[in-house]
A and B are shown apart, each in its own frame.
Chain A
Amino acid sequence: MDLIFEFLTTLKNTVVDVLPILSIILGFQLLVIRKPIPHIKQVGFGFIYVLIGLALFLLGLEKALFPLGKMMAAQLTAPEFIHAGEQVLTTIHWTDYKWVYVFAAAIGFSTTIAEPSLIAVAIKAEEVSGGAINANSLRIAVAIGVAVGIALGSYRIVVGHPIHYYIIAGYVVVVIQTFYCPKLIMPLAYDSGGVTTSTVTVPLVAALGLGLASTIPGRSPLIDGFGLIAFASLFPIIAVMAYAQLTEARAHRAEQKEEKRNQIKQDKQNKRNLNQKQQDSLKESIEDK
């Protein structure tokens, strides 16, 4: 009974969140476009499904994943776990936090795979590209980017470097990659930075950043706790471009291989023809005799 009540509350909140979008769409459809929405019934049901789905999704996250993930982030960053054997805390070494980096990468990867807005963009990309871009490969590439980004962001909080060095260095990499990236995937790569950080990833990542910044001496949770999200939206761009470059390079190599194989085939064929001709002429000369 409690569960149903909670679900209804979440559903109400979701509807309130969606209300501005809905009123903009309806307003423009009715006042500016002034045509009925095509397949109105199907679209209406689709909207209702999206709302129900989102509410169930959020409720489930609140019930199962968020408390557990946040607790783990707190436990992994707690001084008792990091400095278990030591009595007196003297210095902080960045290698003490190795499990934090592993956790950051793993949780970044896995939450990105489950991120609904990324699923949406990946489905659309596969559809538009006619299957040339595989939705699952794209999601895995983005997830790897987020994993690297969040692990690196955690390292930054531990060592206390200023954030903009990392972000600007990341921009430089993006600029260089842009020159070599296949044109077809570039806009998608830029987009993938923004879609990764929404419903699932942000709360867990924020908990991790906050846990780290509040337990390490000399870090302020309010200043250093921010910033992990920026890492999570920069590195997927690099990862998707790298994925596109790898795919292109592989396709190029396969093409070259194919060409070589054809060349060899052609050579063999030529040789065979030549042999045939020689034999024929030999036969002819024998017959002549």
Chain B
Amino acid sequence: MTNQIFVFLKALLGSCKDLLPIILVIAFFQFAVLQQPMPNVGDILVGLALVVLGLTFFIYGLEMGLFPIGESMAQAFAKKGSISWLLTFAFCLGFGTTVAEPSLIAVAKEAAIVAASGGIIADTLESQLSYANGLRFTVAFAVGFAIVMGVLRILRGWPIQYLILGGYVVVVLMTMIAPNWIIGIAYDSGGVTTSTITVPLVTALGVGLASAIKGRNPMIDGFGLIAFASLTPMIFVMIYGMVIS
């Protein structure tokens, strides 16, 4: 028991260290640059304590739950040998975790307002909603597609750089022909898709698959799924923009 408490305290200390840079940055700018007193010190201290505690719990649970489940499922699929089920799972994981992602919903809503004020879509609530939903499903589909591609890459052992660089070329070409107003949103949509729970799960899935399949190196073949998930939404959102206009 004492041992467990010791481990927990050590993890807590680690989280404090992770948070220290933010505290220093905010303190420096508040006192030295803006030269203002810290507002609601009590609230801030409570909040910081919560953040430290939360980060500790998260990392604890990560190694107990999220990593093992991702790897054990990857191994189970590899043993089962059914590629179609594995790819279905990959698509569902990508699509399902993205379509409900809060930051994506927020970005889609904002993008709908831009589009309405720019006269791209009719300035009614209804058309805004359908535009935002269209954007959300486009991004979710793109992420599902990305995980499927990434898993196929692990299975076949394709080198990652050709796929990623090829994707870049497509993004650049699409930028030239896509309407101007979609570009900023498209570029940002690549970044907002990968949430805090999806990333560890998808990483564990990739590494688990690469270690279960003979001839694959978990370091070279296991990583890279997230890279696909942040590349394809850009392409798909630009296509969406072209279709709409």
> A residues engaging B (CB < 8 A)?
3, 17-21, 23-25, 28-29, 32-33, 35, 37-39, 42-65, 68-69, 71-72, 75-76, 81, 99, 103, 106-107, 109-111, 113-114, 116-117, 119-121, 123-125, 128-129, 163-164, 167-168, 171, 174-175, 178, 183-184, 186-188, 190-191, 193-199, 202, 222-224, 226-227, 229-230, 232-233
Contacts and interface: CB of A to CB of B under 8 A. Distances in A.
A227 B188 contact: yes
Contacts of B117: 222
Nearest to B168: A171
Interface string B142-160: 0000000000000000001
B99 interface: yes
Given A63-B43, A198-B196, A199-B196, A164 B183 contact: yes
Contacts of A125: 219, 223
Given A57-B51, A119-B59, A124-B204, A191 B226 contact: yes
A117 B175 contact: no
A218 to B, nearest CB: 16
A58 B52 CA distance: 11
Given A187-B160, A195-B194, A229-B192, A68 B26 contact: yes
Interface string B224-245: 1111011000000000000000
Given A49-B58, A57-B58, A64-B48, A163 B187 contact: yes
26 contacts: A21-B97, A23-B96, A28-B85, A28-B89, A28-B92, A39-B68, A42-B68, A45-B64, A46-B66, A47-B61, A47-B65, A50-B62, A106-B29, A109-B25, A117-B194, A128-B207, A163-B184, A184-B219, A186-B220, A187-B224, A190-B160, A195-B194, A197-B192, A227-B184, A227-B188, A229-B192
Contacts of A229: 187-188, 191-192
A171 B48 CA distance: 37
B65 A53 contact: no
Main secondary structure of the interface of A (DSSP, over half): helix
Contact of A37 (B19, B69, B77, B184): B69
A46 B63 CA distance: 7
B124 interface: no
B55 interface: yes
B226 A194 contact: yes
Contacts of A233: 190-191, 230
Interface residues of B, number: 103
A50 to B, nearest CB: 4
A168 B68 contact: no
Interface in B33-91: 33-34, 36, 39, 43-69, 72-73, 76-77, 80, 85, 89
A174 B230 CA distance: 15
Given A72-B30, A198-B196, A191 B227 contact: yes
B190 to A, nearest CB: 6
A131 B99 CA distance: 36
Contact of A64 (B46, B113, B165): B46
Nearest to B19: A114
Contacts of A174: 165, 168
Most buried by A among B36, B51, B99: B51
Contacts of A107: 22, 25
Nearest to B70: A25
A120 B76 CA distance: 22
A230 B187 contact: yes
A72 B27 CA distance: 11
